Each structure stands twice: as C-alpha cells, then as structure tokens.
Amino acid sequence: MSSLFSFLQVGAVSLPNRVLMAPLTRCRAEGANVPTDLMAEYYGQRASAGLIISEATTVSPRGHGYPNTPGIYTAEHVAGWKKVTTAVHAKGGRIFLQLWHVGRVSHPAFQLNGELPVAPSAIQPKGQVWTGKEMADYVTPRALALEEIPGIVAEYVKGARLAKEAGFDGVEIHNANGYLLDQFLRSGTNTRTDGYGGSVAARARLTLEVVSACISIWGSDRVGIRLSPGGIFNDMSDANPAETFGYLLRELSKLEIAYAHVTRVTAQDIAHGAVSGVGPKELRKDFKGVLITAGGFDRAQGEQAIAEGWADAIAYGVPFLSNPDLPRRLEENLALNTPDESTFYASGAKGYTDYPTAAK
C-alpha cells in the first residue's frame, strides 16, 4: 500500500490517509463574512481527505484583506462554521480551522472607518489589491504600537476559542504567505527596535506567543502552523531564511504542537524570484514533530517525499478544489477533473460544488 494512503497520527487526531486538503481561499462567504450552506456542502464533499485545513479565516474585523472571506469573531461566524463542521463530521471527516490576520496586505476599504491596515512596521507592500470594486495600490500600513500587541494575541485566542465552539477538530495558525505573523517574523517587513524586532528571537516572539495562547485553548496536540520559508508572495523577504525558520521550528518543537505545515517552492515560484534551498526538505532537521508540506505535488512526488522522510503528509490545493474525491482518484490512479480557474474566487456553486466524483 502506498504511504500516501496509510494511517497517520497527528497530535490528538487520527488520519486515515496522508492526502490532506490545503487551505484554499474561495471568497464564498456572505453578508458579514459568514460561512454559508454552500460552503458546508463544499467541505462535506471533500471529507475523505485525511485532514481538511479550512480556508484562511480572519480573527478580527481589521484582519480582512479580500472580499467575501470568512471570519471567526462573531456568533454568526460560529453558527455558519458549525454547519461546515457538522457536514464534514457526518461523512467521517476531520477539519482544522486556519486562523488568519492579513496585516499590511489590506486596504482602508476593508478597515473600520477607512483606517490604515496594521503591520509590524510602516512599509508599503508592492502590488495591488481587489477591493471588491476596483484594483487599488496597497497603502503604507500603520506600525502597531508595543502596547497594542497583546490585543493581537487576544484576537487569536478569541478565534481559537470560537473555533472550538464551532466544532472544529483543531486550529492551524496562518504564519505564511506574507500575512501579519509572517510580517513580524521576516526581516524584510520587520524593522522594529523593541522586543518584537531586531534579532531572530525577537521577530519570532509574536508567533510563539500566539501559538502558546492557542495551546492554552486547545492543547498542543490540536494546534498546527503554516510557514512559507522560501516564499516571496506579498512582497516578502528575509536576510537569512534558513536561520529565521530553523530557529522558529526548533522553538515550535519544544511546544510539541500537532504539526508544522511547511510549503515548498515550485519551479514556477523560483522563476518569479522565490528562494530555493530553504524548504521542508532542508528544515526537516529543525522540527521533531509531524511535518506536512504542500506545493504542486502529484501522487509520485508525494510518495517520494514521505518515503524520503522529509514529509509525513502532503496537502493538495488545486487538485482538491476540482476533485472532491481526490484520495480515491490518487489511490486508484483515476483521471483528475480539470479546474476552472475563472471560478476560483467567484461566487455561487459553479466551479465550487459542481465538480463530479469519479464513477464507481
């Protein structure tokens, strides 16, 4: 039997296979960023995943940076997500909620009273954002004051607590892809001179405080984290990513979290400037627990990564988007559906819940 389809214990959660569903932003929340019945259907269709990691879900109103992304800071959000977890559990699945704050990768259009987005430092990211009405340049964010940082941790704590109320099996802390915690961690976006900037330990401090706070709600065996050490998405950089991420993973090992989810860069990523040579393969030595990876894997590559010991499970993104029964298709070498990219961030059922399963 292929290693991709073998049992794996991830903290307190038993996985029947190692084909995981990666977090995929789909922009289908409605109203006040509330999960919908359609979202429950979508996740329920994919319950055969070893573990579903939900789309990124904001822990506070100012954590938003894209239209129609779900939140986890109100009773409405809890009620909406309960429909999702109920649908997944009814089919025997497991699902973690990914906790998110976009930080500087936002726009006043998403902020209360048109305020500036917040960040570790007042450094404007390159690029533009879709506000729901138009493409707009990113603005220069406001640097968080030292006394505001405990409030950020408290927002993650509230999100973790509400995720438990909503029936999730655990939480994944989004510390990747250029969002708030990643901004604090990396030297290219953190020029602070207080206790949250400068040294690697100081830049990693907020991440470790958030992880510890979420552990206080869930226990270490139901908390994971996602990292993108070689990624440059959202105008990210670090002077020494091997040192930065190696330190963080060693500290996370001490906390005995359920897993670290470390993305690899693809050839396409490298062609766009991503950093090679600092990914899950190179950082495996720094983390003692379960290591999940993602980044354009097919079945053979996933099996090889597990066989070589630098990954314990593979998170699949786009293939799971268009193939609700992906574990079966991979195991039986069945053809995959072709994804419709025009519907990735659209609304409605088209390209969302209408992909067929393979014939029996």
Let me know if 66 is a catalytic residue: no
142-143/135-137 β-pairing: unpaired
Q: Which among 100, 97, 38, 33 has a CA at the least distance from the CA of 71?
A: 33
- C-alpha 50/C-alpha 205 separation (Å) is 31
Q: Which among 99, 89, 100 has a CA at the least distance from the CA of 40?
A: 89
Token reading at 13: 């959660």
Helix, strand, coil: what percent of the chain each, to 5? 40, 15, 45
- C-alpha 155/C-alpha 167 separation (Å) is 19
* H-assigned helices in the chain: 37-45, 75-90, 149-165, 180-185, 200-203, 205-218, 241-255, 267-271, 280-283, 299-308, 318-322, 326-331
- C-alpha 280/C-alpha 27 separation (Å) is 29
Q: Which of 73, 138, 156, 179 is catalytic?
A: 179
Looking up tokens 């030292």, which residue turns up? 146
- C-alpha 124/C-alpha 155 separation (Å) is 24
> What residues act catalytically?
179
